[in-house]
Amino acid sequence: MKTVMGGVVALLLAGSAAAMEPKAAVQAVDAQIAKDWPKLDALYKDIHAHPELAFQETRSAALLAKEMRALGFTVTEGVGKTGVVAILKNGAGPTIMLRTEMDGLPMEEKSGLPYASRVQVETPDGGKTFVAESCGHDNHMAWWVGAARTLLAMKTQWKGTLMFIAQPAEEVGKGAHAMLDDGLFTKFPKPDFAIGAHVGSGLAGTVGVKDGAATSNSDTLEITFKGRGAHGSMPSASIDPIVMGAHFVTDVQSVVSREREAASFGVVTVGSFQAGTVANIIPDTALVKLSIRSFSPEVRTKLLDGVTRTAKGAAIMAGAPEPVIAHPGENHAVINDHKLSVEAADYLTKAGGDTIQYVRPELPGWSASEDFSAYGEQGVPSLFYSIGGYDAATLAEYAKKGQAVPTNHSPFFTPDHDKAIPTGIRTLALTVLMLAPAS
Ligand SMILES: [Zn+2]
Ligand SMILES: [Zn+2]
């Protein structure tokens, strides 16, 4: 009897804090998106035309801070150099962090759009580089503002604290740590959940909800092979670091093809090989830069060990000193919380509708990586969605031309933002409505 009573009380409690019915929720969200669209479209185009590099996102940060202040959020700027934290309390409930990135990439946009970026900035070495929103962070900033507007308009449908953060320097893998080191989870409330999303080159209207590793571990290694320089006509007087490096570049792929377990994901890419100046001088050193990707910690360790061993082996073969191996960059895989992924996939699938397809957790993770992992590593259950960027007509056009669809970091990557941004808003807003029901 006691047990039955307990069950009834629990049921009543759960019933009193039920999330908004998913179909009604998506309808209300869509109605608000329609109202806000002209403003969000203009904001997106403005940000797209004015991209900024990592830790220089002052214009974007000011734009976002202004939007959030106007909505009634308490806004702090300059967190982790250029980051923004916007907090809004709406009764008793969970604290939910929603994150956008703000940085563009040092590359030239070739989309041909009327609002394409022509921005150029100086580089630390005194040169110049174009800057472009080729990762889609412009879409993210617009859907982040859109989600805030929608949730404010639907304030009676949820209870809790919103913690909207705009993070700098994702592309260089340093922004999340900069914000955390600046007190993101100590000066501000440590959230109960952390939510993020990234636009990609899939079908617009689809949302990937991956249970487990959503993005890869990413490690950057820089290996300096130390030889002995000599005249190009006298190779026997040298220890040739170019030959050493060349052996390494080909041999290192055996780590992937022979040592990595076949069904697991692992990539070793040599993205840079720098050595020498002219044809008749054998240089002293060769510098090889690698990007190493994996999902599991075991594969990560195996690849890092294998690459290190192969580099040392190449030096031994050449009779050279041990190479110097630096490890300047490290991002861990974003691990989506199991319970959160399953519940979100269920809620979003029920919301469904004709224009939104929610993809279930069986998807493979992204081979790209993301410093969003840093928030989950602080013990906050986190979820990182992937959002389709191209509508069916755009995908069909590329297929007809026999061309590959431009992916993130391509100079042609410009998602159909009028589809991608609303999907991002629905996804973020529905997640909050699910996690923070009004009692
Ligand atoms: Zn990127
Ligand atoms: Zn990105």
**How far is residue 360 from each of residues 208, 212, 292, 349, measured CA to CA in Å?**
7, 12, 27, 9
Give the full edge-to-edge strand order of the sheet including 324-331: 266-275, 285-294, 217-226, 324-331
CA of residue 110 to ligand 2 center, whole Å: 18
Give the ligand with the smallest distance to the CA of 101.
2
CA of residue 79 to ligand 1 center, whole Å: 21
CA of residue 294 to ligand 2 center, whole Å: 18
CA of residue 409 to ligand 1 center, whole Å: 6
What pLDDT band is residue 124 in, cutting at 50, 70 and 90?
A: confident
Q: Which helix (H) or strand (E) holds 28?
A: helix 22-49
On the question of pLDDT at 363 being above 80, the answer is no
CB atoms within 10 A of CB 247: 18
Residue 376: predicted pLDDT: 96
Give the ligand with the smallest distance to the CA of 198.
2
On the question of pLDDT at 309 being above 60, the answer is yes
- Does residue 7 or residue 289 have the better pLDDT? 289
What DSSP character marks residue 168?
Answer: S
Give the ligand with the smallest distance to the CA of 386.
2
On the question of pLDDT at 8 being above 80, the answer is no
Residue 368: predicted pLDDT: 85
Residue 234: predicted pLDDT: 96
Give the ligand with the smallest distance to the CA of 105.
1
CA of residue 20 to ligand 1 center, whole Å: 34
**How far is residue 195 from each of residues 48, 129, 335, 337, 373, measured CA to CA in Å?**
23, 32, 12, 11, 11
Average pLDDT, the chain: 93
CA of residue 348 to ligand 1 center, whole Å: 26
Q: Which helix (H) or strand (E) holds 248?
A: helix 241-251
Residue 42: predicted pLDDT: 98
* Composition of the chain by helix, strand, coil, percent to 5: 40, 25, 35
On the question of pLDDT at 316 being above 80, the answer is yes
Q: Determine whether domain 20-215+333-435 maps to CATH 3.40.50.700.
A: no
Q: Can you tell me whether residue 221 is helix, strand or coil?
A: strand
CB atoms within 10 A of CB 72: 13
Residue 75: predicted pLDDT: 98
**Residue 42 phi, psi (nearest 5):** -65, -40
CA of residue 172 to ligand 1 center, whole Å: 9
d(CA 438, CA 396): 43
Pairing of β 324-331 and β 281-282: unpaired
Residue 366: predicted pLDDT: 81
> Which residues are 289's β-sheet partners?
222, 272
213 neighbors 384 (Cβ within 8 angstroms): no
CA of residue 247 to ligand 2 center, whole Å: 33
On the question of pLDDT at 4 being above 50, the answer is no
335's torsion region: left (phi>0), alpha (psi -120 to 50) or beta?
Answer: beta
Residues shown for the chain:
439
376 neighbors 337 (Cβ within 8 angstroms): yes
d(CA 130, CA 51): 9
CA of residue 327 to ligand 1 center, whole Å: 20
pLDDT in tens, 9-35: 444 444 457 899 999 999 999 999 999
CA of residue 385 to ligand 2 center, whole Å: 12
CB atoms within 10 A of CB 396: 11
Write the single-letter amino acid at 186: T
On the question of pLDDT at 353 being above 80, the answer is no
Helix axes 417-435, 137-153, angle to 10 degrees: 50
CA of residue 255 to ligand 2 center, whole Å: 28
**Helix ranges (DSSP H) in 213-337:** 241-251, 253-254, 297-318
CA of residue 145 to ligand 1 center, whole Å: 20
Mean pLDDT of 338-363: 80
> Which residues are 89's β-sheet partners?
161
d(CA 205, CA 207): 7
Q: Can you tell me whether residue 259 is helix, strand or coil?
A: helix
Query: Structural domain boundaries of the chain?
Result: 20-215+333-435, 218-331
Mean pLDDT of 135-140: 98
In the structure, ligand 2 is a single-atom ion and the residues with CB under 5 Å from it are: 135
CATH number of 218-331: 3.30.70.360
Residue 94: predicted pLDDT: 98
pLDDT in tens, 230-277: 999 999 999 999 999 999 999 999 999 999 999 999 999 999 999 999
Mean pLDDT of 366-377: 92
**Residue 192 phi, psi (nearest 5):** -85, -25
On the question of pLDDT at 2 being above 60, the answer is no
d(CA 13, CA 277): 73
Residue 426: predicted pLDDT: 96
> Which residues are 207's β-sheet partners?
358, 387
Give the ligand with the smallest distance to the CA of 140.
2
Q: What is the DSSP secondary-structure string of 52-65?
A: --TT--HHHHHHHH
On the question of pLDDT at 405 being above 60, the answer is yes
CA of residue 140 to ligand 2 center, whole Å: 9
Contacts of 80 (CB under 8 A, 6+ apart): 167, 168, 169, 175, 177, 178, 179, 180, 181, 182, 184
Residue 292: predicted pLDDT: 96
Contacts of 186 (CB under 8 A, 6+ apart): none
Give the ligand with the smallest distance to the CA of 138.
2
